[in-house]
Amino acid sequence: MPRFALVIEYHGGPFAGWQRQRDRPTVQAAVEAALGRLDPAVPSIVAAGRTDAGVHATGQVTHCDLARPWDPFRLAEAVNHHLRPAPVAVLRAAMVAGDFSARFDAVARHYRYRIVERRAPLALDRGLAWQLRRELDIEAMRAGAAHLLGRHDFTTFRASLCQAKSPVKTLDAITIEARETPGGREVTLRFRARSFLHSQVRSMVGTLVQVGLGAWPPERVARALAARDRAACGPVAPPEGLCLTGVDYPPGRGP
């Protein structure tokens, strides 16, 4: 059976996350239902990242095996037809090696977190960003973020339901940028790592916001990390600001 990789965009608001659940709508179930209209025997699909409820994606990657060798463009068009009206879209499809894994072949995952600082309610960005009514200290946040870079035990920033075998991860990059917008300012945090723990990014964002608000000194991030205790984490950031923006694969391996 030919194997295909799909690059998928979705609004996480209506869904209980990526992973299929018995009695709740999920992105995986929506994509599998659309694929099932093309190939009733399609098996379960595998994604690069299992995003939580309310989390978005502009670059999720999944793979599936189909009974016939579809033209990739026509496959994307057909799946998108059957996905309507769900806020999910296949951006592109590609035929890949039969042993390709969207999950295990990934060498880096990229997440973006958006914060909008303004007093007026969000109209266009409602559900797509975390609104704060106070201005953050960006330099303090960058100083706090520096303590998270590298290989660490991230138990403090790991959800209690996390199923990863080890809490040790290597965080390759964090960038924090701010730009002025009409009525306020937008702060964007970007994270890159080979893999992340359950709720790790939102936990780190929530902690760094405490630094940005002046509630924590930057060095407290290092103490929280060293504590290896979930109780040492700051409040977890809400899901609506988080987006999986891309997944990297070895050259010639991925979509």
* Tens-place pLDDT, residues 212-251: 999 999 999 999 999 999 999 999 999 999 999 999 999 9
List strand residue ranges (DSSP E) for the chain, in order. Answer: 3-10, 46-47, 56-65, 88-96, 108-117, 130-132, 150-153, 168-181, 184-193, 242-248
Q: Which residue has the tokens 């303590």?
A: 147
* Tens-place pLDDT, residues 176-212: 999 999 889 999 999 999 999 999 999 999 999 999 9
Cis amide prior to 85 (ω within 30 degrees): yes
Enter the pTM of the model: 0.95
Looking at the chain, the whole-number percentage of residues with pLDDT higher than 70 is 100
Active site annotation includes 65: no
Strands 46-47 and 56-65, by their bridges, are antiparallel
Q: Which residue has the tokens 């194997």?
A: 3
Catalytic entry in 23, 52, 125, 229: 52
Q: From CA 255, how far away is CA 249, in angstroms rounded?
A: 8
For the cut 80, the answer to whether the pLDDT of residue 163 exceeds it is: no
Give me the domains of the chain, ranges plus CATH numbers: 3-105 (3.30.70.580), 108-246 (3.30.70.660)
Q: Which residue has the tokens 């659940």?
A: 21
Strands 184-193 and 108-117, by their bridges, are antiparallel
Do the beta carbons of residue 222 and residue 115 sit within 8 Å? Answer: no
Residue 172 phi, psi (nearest 5): -80, -35
